[in-house]
Amino acid sequence: MAITLYDLAGTESDRRFSPFCWRTKMALAHKGLEVETIPWRFTEKDKLPQPNQGRVPVIIDDGRVVHDSTAIAEYLEQRYPHHPSLFGDAAGKALTRFVQNWTEMVLQPGLIGFVVFDIWRHAAAQDQEYFRKSREERFGTTLENVVKDREARLPAFRDSLAPLRRTVERQRFLAGDASAYADYVVFGAFQWARAISDFELLAADDPVAAWRGRMLDAFDGIARKAPAYGG
């Protein structure tokens, strides 16, 4: 039976833009597991199965509810040990956490300043007020203000990708010859951006763009086929 995934959507129910849900979708594909997604909006807290923390991803696997992308990855690894590993051995799993922490402390905070207004534009009508209010409180200014100097911030953002760039110019994936969960965590951030924004974050000749292309091709191109802008 397919696993059910509650997946963030906006006005268009097939445009899916949560970086955390993309981690989970890539992890499910890596494990070769079937999934059925249910589009979910920011304000539909009461539509999620229990337990949850009011956020997606949440999965239901054979009656079991698991929430939080990190917990889901660990659950899948433990529940499906004979499917391809998401982490490799104990060192691989621990080092994946460093990549995840870099993604959450450097990459995603960098990205949000480019795309937060585009997220609002794509959010479902009933979500827009909630989204604007919560994010403007966080930034201390309007969403329009956050993104208005994004062209000027692009060089510094690209510089911040240096550790990723050097890695994927020297090996095909963060996890080596084949992709694994570390790749999906970083890719989730880029797929988030390209799903809701036509702002091109990467130069065409950036090794990071080439790696992103390899990720878009993975698993029969599930990410490439999903509604998104260029890049």
Q: How far is the CB of 83 from a copy of itself (least distance, A)?
A: 15
Would you say 145 or 171 has its CB closer to a copy of itself?
171
Report d(CA 197, CA 206) in Å as an integer: 19
Q: How far is the CB of 183 from a copy of itself (least distance, A)?
A: 10
DSSP-assigned beta bridge partners for residue 60: 4, 65
Report d(CA 130, CA 42) in Å as an integer: 8
Would you say 88 or 231 has its CB closer to a copy of itself?
88
Where do contacts with a copy of itself occur on this chain (CB under 8 A)? 85, 87-99, 101-102, 104-106, 162-164, 166-167, 170-171, 173-177, 180, 182
Would you say 170 or 225 has its CB closer to a copy of itself?
170
Q: How far is the CB of 93 from a copy of itself (least distance, A)?
A: 7
Which residues are CB-contacts of 147 (< 8 A; sequence separation ≥ 6)?
113, 114, 115, 116, 117, 118
Q: How far is the CB of 177 from a copy of itself (least distance, A)?
A: 7
**Nearest CA-CA partner of 29 in 179, 160, 129, 208:** 179
Would you say 68 or 104 has its CB closer to a copy of itself?
104
187-to-48, 100, 169 alpha-carbon distances in Å: 25, 11, 15
